[in-house]
Structure 1
Amino acid sequence: MAEKTLKDVAEIMKDLDICMLTTTTSNGMLASRPMSNNGQVEYDGNSHFFTWENSRMVSDIEMDNGVNLSFQGKKDIYISITGKAEVTRSREKMEEHWVEELNAWFEDGLDTQGIAMITVEAKQIKYWQGEEEGEVKF
């Protein structure tokens, strides 16, 4: 298995916007949903997603914060990130990651009632492209 650095993965991820975020539900099943990575080019091992605080995804994370992010891109690139998620409702923390494109989903921006942000801290990152595969060690 090839050794990849976080910088290597960040370079690959800069063109990958949509991922599937997988949580464990209250009945022990896995649930995945598409989330926008907001084109954050400077990936540092943390991913940030905006959502509704009363969503099933938030309740899943508050019950079991182990999650997986899966990305697929051009030229058969696949990235799997296993991590721990945290939900915040802090406007100050959300401001750091807000981009104008999010106004399409949250009409009043950060003043939208019920908005929350999920931060996923990577614990393991795996990468596949063709015959090559790699892993970022933390």
Structure 2
Amino acid sequence: MSNRATGVEDARRRVTELIRDARICLLTTTAVDGRLVSRPMGLQAAEFDGDLWFFTYANSAKIRQIRVNPQVNVGFSDQRHHAWVSVAGTAAEEWDRERAERLWHPLLRTWFPDGPDTPGLTLLKVHAGAAEYWDSPGGAMVSLVGLARAAVTGQPPRPGENREVSY
């Protein structure tokens, strides 16, 4: 395996780790009038193989919006680790009872009271085209030291790792 292939696999693995740690994201769609609209969503599958899965209602604005324009962005922020991930991809409604049962978590009853049998329940699948992440190894203390050093020296802080990866 080439170093480039290893680097890509490492980057994909890091994206998966960061997404798994964050779990809550902002899903951005395009409204019919062209405005970008973001809303918080809870990721249902922690394993990221290029697809992200969410529960929603089939008659929701986000589903109507992706029917017109399936291009979306999913942004994750993990404040504990000072890491961020942006996933650009294509979204589609994709109901699959077996998958819904596999992804189901009891906390979802807050929004979907009848579980997987909730009328109008559907799955939203986002297939990643590319992801970019910003990772600050060492956490808050390293980031604060970097910001303090930048303030004293006038040089911008070193941002940690930033990588883009295609799927």
* Comparing 87-96 and 9-18, the one that deviates more: 87-96
**2:116 aligned counterpart, secondary structure:** helix
> Which residues of structure 1 form unaligned runs of 5+?
none
Question: 1:3-46 CA deviation, whole Å, 9 max, x = no partner?
Answer: 553212112222112100000111111100000013x3322111
2:69 corresponding residue in structure 1: 64
Alpha-carbon separation, structure 2, partners of 1:100 and 1:75: 27
Q: Judge conservation of contact 1:78–1:129 (CA < 8 Å) in 2.
A: yes
Letter in 2 for 1:8: R
Question: Which structure shows the bigger proportion of residues in strand conformation?
Answer: 1
Root mean square deviation, CA, Å: 1.7
> Which residues of structure 2 form unaligned runs of 5+?
1-6, 137-158
Query: Does 1 or 2 have the higher relative contact order (CA < 8 Å, sep 6+)?
Result: 1
Cα displacement (A) at 1:95:
2.7
Question: Which structure shows the bigger proportion of residues in helix conformation?
Answer: 2
Q: Which has the larger radius of gyration?
A: 2
Letter in 2 for 1:21: L
TM-score normalised by structure 2 residue count: 0.75
Alpha-carbon separation, structure 2, partners of 1:75 and 1:11: 11
TM-score normalised by structure 1 residue count: 0.89
- Given the alignment of the two structures, is residue 75 of structure 1 paired with residue 104 of structure 2, yes or no? no
Residue identity over aligned pairs, in percent, reads 36
- Given the alignment of the two structures, is residue 106 of structure 1 paired with residue 112 of structure 2, yes or no? yes
Letter in 1 for 2:83: I
